[in-house]
């Protein structure tokens, strides 16, 4: 029986106390399966980034339940002690800007993650080069970050997110700085990677160009999610 990569029940997040308290999430429910690319869509201030931070174990939710790969990691409080290792081994991040480490070359930007997880340097670099090949930027393996175009940098950041073969990738508006063609290419790559590595990918976006490509979309408004079937068009 397949276990959901992400399963959330009635998740809430409150910032502050008393009169100044703000409820960013007011009971979010969400289930995402391995190999699935799901859109998380909503206007600014709707709670998208807060939800992403909760999913990424970067901030602690206030209440509710959160399971990753069948393991309960939050239920009223964190259920595991080492969130850093959780993020390193089980969650990949793709940001709005690539945020690559400027003093490392392309290969080492990706290889750094497996190295942090204890993978030997040579093996980590081989894995990095494989991912770069898969993302069609293998020829830039030795380049410096500053030598890459915006689209190439975003591909490298996707490769970095996949470096530890995490079951989940959280992408925060990954196509925002890209033109239509490059944005659709990034989505196509994410779909390919999801299929190839059976990775569940959550894409936070309000990019109208890519929304029709999702098969499933979670709309978030005023801290609540509403699930909707997407068009699932080819990117």
Partner 1 sequence: MINLASRDILHGWGKFVFTGVGLGLLIGVTLTMAGVYRGMVDDARAMIDNAGADLWVVQQDTLGPYAEPSSIHDDVARDLLGQDGVLAAGNVTYLTMQIQRGGKDVRIMLAGVEQGKPGEPAYLVAGRPITRTHYEALADIKTGLALGERIKIHRQQYTVVGLTRRMVSSSGDPMIFVPLKDAQEVQFLKDNDALLNDRTRTAANPAFNRPNVPGLLDAVLASQISSHMVNAVLVHIKTGYNDQIVAEQIRRWKHLQVYTKGQMEEILVAKLIATSSKQIFMFLVILSVVSAAIVAFIIYTMTMNKIREIAVLKLVGAGNRTISGMILQQALGLGFIGFVVGKTSATIWAPLFPKYVLLIPADAILGFILVMLMCSLASIFAIRAALRIDPATAIGG
By CB under 8 A, tell whether 21 contacts partner 1.
Answer: no
> According to CB under 8 A, which one of 11, 38, 111, 210 is a site residue for partner 1?
111
According to CB under 8 A, which residues from 142 to 181 bind partner 1?
Answer: 160, 172-173
Q: How far apart are CA 94 and CA 185, in angstroms?
A: 15
Going by DSSP bridges, is the β-strand pair 71-75/91-94 parallel, antiparallel, or unpaired?
Answer: unpaired
By CB under 8 A, tell whether 59 contacts partner 1.
Answer: yes
Q: How far apart are CA 228 and CA 218, in angstroms?
A: 6
What tokens were used for 140? Answer: 């830039």
Going by DSSP bridges, is the β-strand pair 63-68/91-94 parallel, antiparallel, or unpaired?
Answer: unpaired
- Of the ranges 7-15, 56-64, 133-141, 186-194, which one interacts with partner 1 (CB under 8 A)? 56-64
Q: Which is nearer to partner 1, 33 or 95 (CB)?
A: 95
Q: Which is nearer to partner 1, 31 or 96 (CB)?
A: 96
Which stretch of DSSP H or E encloses residue 111? helix 106-116
Q: Which is nearer to partner 1, 104 or 141 (CB)?
A: 104
Closest separation between CB of residue 87 and partner 1, Å?
5
- C-alpha dihedral sign at 70, 187, 195, 136: negative
Angle made by CA atoms 3, 228, 47, in degrees to the nearest 5: 85
Q: Do residues 168 and 91 make contact, with C-beta atoms less than 8 angstroms apart?
A: yes
Task: State how far the alpha carbon of 189 is from the alpha carbons of 26, 119, 175, 186, in Å.
Answer: 33, 25, 12, 5
- Of the ranges 15-23, 106-114, 128-136, 185-193, which one interacts with partner 1 (CB under 8 A)? 106-114
- Of the ranges 32-40, 70-78, 80-88, 205-213, which one interacts with partner 1 (CB under 8 A)? 80-88
Q: Which is nearer to partner 1, 172 or 207 (CB)?
A: 172
By CB under 8 A, tell whether 73 contacts partner 1.
Answer: no
Q: Do residues 220 and 48 make contact, with C-beta atoms less than 8 angstroms apart?
A: yes
> According to CB under 8 A, which one of 10, 101, 150, 181 is a site residue for partner 1?
101
Residues that bind partner 1 in the complex, under the rule CB under 8 A: 48-50, 52-53, 56, 58-59, 84-85, 87-89, 93, 95-96, 99, 101-104, 108, 111-113, 115-117, 121, 160, 172-173
């Amino acid at each position: 029986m397949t276990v959901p990569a992400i399963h959330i029940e009635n998740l809430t997040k409150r910032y502050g106390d008393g009169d100044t308290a703000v409820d960013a999430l007011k009971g979010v429910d969400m289930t995402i399966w391995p190999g699935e690319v799901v859109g998380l869509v909503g206007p600014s201030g709707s709670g998208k980034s807060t939800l992403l931070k909760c999913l990424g174990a970067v901030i602690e939710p206030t209440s509710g339940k959160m399971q990753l790969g069948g393991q309960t990691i939050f239920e009223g409080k964190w259920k595991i002690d080492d969130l850093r290792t959780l993020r390193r081994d089980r969650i990949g991040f793709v940001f709005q800007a690539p945020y690559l480490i400027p003093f490392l070359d392309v290969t080492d930007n990706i290889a750094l993650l497996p190295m942090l997880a204890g993978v030997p340097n040579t093996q980590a670099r081989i894995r990095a080069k494989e991912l770069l090949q898969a993302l069609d930027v293998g020829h830039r393996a030795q380049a410096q970050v500053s030598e890459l175009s915006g689209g190439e940098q975003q591909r490298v950041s996707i490769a970095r997110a996949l470096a530890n073969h995490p079951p989940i990738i959280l992408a925060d508006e990954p196509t925002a700085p890209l033109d239509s063609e490059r944005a659709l290419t990034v989505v196509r790559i994410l779909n390919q990677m999801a299929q190839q590595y059976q990775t569940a990918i959550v894409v936070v976006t309000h990019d109208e160009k890519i929304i029709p490509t999702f098969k499933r979309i979670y709309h978030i408004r005023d801290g609540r999610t509403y699930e909707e079937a997407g068009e699932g068009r080819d990117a």
